[in-house]
Structure 1
Amino acid sequence: MFRKLFGKDTPKLAPPALPVVRNVTIGRTVILDPLTWRRFGSDTKFALDRDTLEITAQGVIALDDGAFVHRFYTDDHVMLQAVSDDREGQSANDFTLFTPWRSAYPGTSAQGRIWADKLRSPVFMEDDLPVYRRFWFDEETPEQAPVTFWENVFEDRAALETYARLFQTCMLFHRDLPDEGRELLLALTLEPEKGDVTQEIMIGLPLAVGEFKA
């Protein structure tokens, strides 16, 4: 609309530094199909009290195999995740919605070792959760080293300054739900470049492309 402001062409604006994945980025509202989780009733541990997400932060992860993980966060740490072969997210075809289950600070080195063993195990068990089987790698392998990566998190679309840089050691687990459903559990050690180490558990459900829009 300002193309010929004061009789002169205005310079073209640079594209946003952060990827816009299926129209999702900082400042956008994501509308979810609540049947994604409500259809499972009490059979799922996933719980969300609304069908809209206000995206206030965005993370970008470059994996060693050349793929990228795009994460979109709300203020209460609900996370919409997309996996893509390209940084711009144009080929994204793997979507998951995660909600936080628990966050803990490892009080002792012994607690840290116990948690590390959980991430390497073929099953994940907690007193307040059902049993989940390892989703990544071969389930039959007794122990498997977790995946590690850095995530750069931003709070503005221009990405002028990194809000947080987080080193993560994580493993993905899953269990079956009725009607061929699947529930995911993401267990990870979160090590901010500046801040305290925490142990995180998130519960997730796969999202089809038609189950969300922005």
Structure 2
Amino acid sequence: MFSRLFGRKEPAPESALPAIRNVTLGRTVWLDPLAWKRFGSDTKFPLDRDTLEITAQGLVDLKDGGFVHRFYTDDHVMFQAVSDDRAGQRLTDVTIFVPWDSAYPGGRADRDAWGKRLRARSFTPAGLPEYHRFWFGDEAESQDPVTFWEELHDDRDGVPDRKIFQTCMLFARDLPGEGRELLLAIEMETEDREVSFETMIGVPLEVGEFRA
């Protein structure tokens, strides 16, 4: 499914696509690896490099005044920034996510089971520890996930090349020294109704921990 987020790789002319602290399609992002390596074996975050070549860009309008800006590499690493404005001048959150698992449902029963996992207090993927619901807190037994359309861009002409509908929930677990590891669980559906289940592992970034 993540392969559908990526298309041709071309030079990036200027356009209406926002650049978030110089991060945009066609540029390279340099990361401070201490953002996750300082946790050693306590983290499951699998990124093994400190540079990202951005070849696709996504934009989500949350309809409540917030925006999600996503920047993808060819191997599906996702640099994500959340802001109060479309231009990304007022950042509220920056995260780097790496794919962990991808699966296709066999039918309605699989989708119902995945939806139940998204609504649960905790999420435990195969080969990983338990993560607790981060969005909305984990007090409630069941919590509806977040849904939105993401517009995907292969170039900087400002016109979306495709859209993906997403139903997702964010989970987290604590790391030593007040650290946090994130798990993003998503049901993705393309405009032609192809569905997949995606699991991504992430860590939050401070503004000083990346540059482009």
Q: Same fold (TM over 0.5)?
A: yes
After TM superposition, the runs of 4+ consecutive aligned structure 1 residues lying more than 4 A away are none
**What CA deviation, in whole Å up to 9, does each residue of 1:13-42 have, x standing for no partner?**
x96210011000011100000111111111
AA partner of residue 84 (structure 2): D
AA partner of residue 200 (structure 1): E
AA partner of residue 199 (structure 2): I
Quote how far apart the aligned CAs of 1:158 are. 1.8
Q: Contact between 1:37 and 1:47, CA under 8 Å: does it hold in 2?
A: no
User: Which residue in 2 is equivalent to 1:209?
Assistant: 207
- TM-score for the superposition, normalised by structure 2: 0.91
- In percent, how many aligned pairs have the same letter? 62
Structure 1: gaps of 5 or more residues: 1-13
Pair member with larger Rg: 1
* Inter-partner Cα distance in structure 1 for 2:54 and 2:189: 23
Quote how far apart the aligned CAs of 1:211 are. 0.4
Quote how far apart the aligned CAs of 1:127 are. 2.8
Partner SS, residue 91 of structure 2: coil
* Equivalent residue for 1:192, pick from 183, 190, 193: 190
User: Which residue in 1 is equivalent to 2:126?
Assistant: 127
* Equivalent residue for 1:172, pick from 162, 170, 173: 170
Q: Contact between 1:30 and 1:53, CA under 8 Å: does it hold in 2?
A: yes
Deviates more, 1:40-49 or 1:66-75: 40-49
What CA RMSD, in Å, does the superposition of the two structures yield over aligned residues?
A: 1.3
**What CA deviation, in whole Å up to 9, does each residue of 1:113-167 have, x standing for no partner?**
111100000111223110000001131100000000000010111224x222000
1:152-171 equivalences under 5 Å are 152-160=151-159, 162-171=160-169
Quote how far apart the aligned CAs of 1:194 are. 2.8
* Larger relative contact order, structure 1 or 2 (CA cutoff 8 Å, min sep 6): 2
Partner SS, residue 87 of structure 1: coil
* Inter-partner Cα distance in structure 2 for 1:51 and 1:195: 35
Partner SS, residue 93 of structure 1: strand
Distance 1:57-1:192 versus aligned 2 partners, 3 A rule: same
